[in-house]
Amino acid sequence: MPKRLIFLLGGARSGKSRYAEAWARTHGARVLFVATAQAGDADMAARIAEHRARRPGHWQSLEAPRQVPQRIRDCAIPHDVLLLDCITLMTSNLLLDLPESTSQIDANEAILSEVEALLAVYERSEATWMVVSNEVGMGVVPPSRLGVLFRDMLGRANQRVAERADEVILLVAGLSWKLK
């Protein structure tokens, strides 16, 4: 199977991760799961544990909340499918690491640079990649500057990944809709 870049988008609890995991189970003998989450509180720790419990034991995992492109590039674990879950947390982690005085232009440059680096790693890879992200642009306008910045940055990151992707799938209530 020739490599492809598959991009999954959807709201919170829309079924993105379950869809990606099911797809990887049927299409990859050697799966590398790249996790960008970190357990900052008990709720996130429980979500991470639930996700880990669902994954087959033979899958390899790379926990990379930061420097995601570099960590994938430097990873020596052989794989046919790379499942990256998710761009949303990669963006959040990057945004929270920026100094509070960072301008919106500089913040956007930082995330788009990270996305471009990620896509460059994909181009050099021989594996099919399934990349998960949240669609956050369909809800209410966030009340804080940080919330608006996050929404805008993630929206731009999602646009860039979708532009490059071979296939884009939107999940709503566990149902998939192929956009591209």
Q: Which of 27, 51, 58, 79 is catalytic?
A: 51
| Separate counts of helices (H) and strands (E) for the chain | 6, 7
- Among candidate residues 20, 85, 8, the one with its CA nearest the CA of residue 47: 85
Tokens of 170: 């939107």
Catalytic annotation present for 51: yes
176: tokens are 């998939």
Residue 114 CA to its chain's centroid (Å): 12
**Catalytic positions, written as ranges:** 51
